[in-house]
Each structure stands twice: as C-alpha cells, then as structure tokens.
Amino acid sequence: DAGVIQSPRHEVTEMGQEVTLRCKPISGHDYLFWYRQTMMRGLELLIYFNNNVPIDDSGMPEDRFSAKMPNASFSTLKIQPSEPRDSAVYFCASSPQSAGNSNQPQHFGDGTRLSIL
C-alpha cells in the first residue's frame, strides 16, 4: 500500500519567497494533519482537517501560513512570505479515525526538509 506521500523532500529557497508543500494522504483516511518539527520546539501540530474541512488551525504560527485541502487526496501548506525561522521539517499525516473511534494511529509521510536562507 502506498503511504502518505509528501513533496518535495527537500526545499531550499531565499527569504521572502513563497513555499508550497504538498501532501497526498492514504486513500480512505478522513483525517489529515500538518506538523512542524524543529530541535527547539519539537513536534508541533499546525492544522488538521476532517473530510477536507479545517477543524483546528490554532497551531498555525501566523498569517503567513495557510493550508488547503481541495479534495480527499490532496493538501497543501503554503508559506508566503517565507522567513529563515520557518526552516524546519514539515510532516503530513493521515488517519482513518472517525468520531467515536480513537484507536487508529496516524500514518506519517517522510517529511519536507525546508531551509530558508
């Protein structure tokens, strides 16, 4: 089975540029999560969707960050304009968990390593 697919795996860009990270969840999973991981802050939940609808975006650091899920098989995380402090590994995860069923794990992609110069 194909797992969660993220692209690109690595991105290096200059400060001020727009960055778009992409995620394809596992087919049939109705939850999708975006995380950021850094040495200083560890693993942070940025936003999550249920059935393509954003449920909680309280972890999005600022207005420069936005996320969309136009359909069940695709999501994007966009940073505009990017800053050096946005450098991190960004993970997408999906889960088949539905309301009332908490015993399903999350399935993570291999992440996008983002460097903002």
Partner 1 sequence: GNSVTQMEGPVTLSEEAFLTINCTYTATGYPSLFWYVQYPGEGLQLLLKATKADDKGSNKGFEATYRKETTSFHLEKGSVQVSDSAVYFCALNTNAGKSTFGDGTTLTVKP
Q: Residues interacting with partner 1, by CB under 8 A?
A: 4, 31, 33, 42-43, 45, 48, 50, 55-56, 91, 93, 97, 99-111
CB nearer to partner 1: pick between 76 and 97? 97
CB nearer to partner 1: pick between 15 and 43? 43
Backbone angles phi, psi at 44, to 5 degrees: -120, 130
CB of 102 to partner 1, least distance (A): 4
Q: CA 117 to CA 106: how far, in whole Å? A: 32
CB of 7 to partner 1, least distance (A): 14
**Could you tell me where the beta strands, DSSP code E, fall in the chain?**
5-7, 10-13, 19-24, 31-38, 42-50, 53-56, 65-71, 74-79, 88-95, 107-108, 112-116
CB of 67 to partner 1, least distance (A): 14
CB of 75 to partner 1, least distance (A): 15
CB nearer to partner 1: pick between 2 and 14? 2
CB nearer to partner 1: pick between 17 and 52? 52
Q: CA 112 to CA 96: how far, in whole Å? A: 22
Do 70 and 52 contact (CB within 8 A), yes or no?
Answer: yes
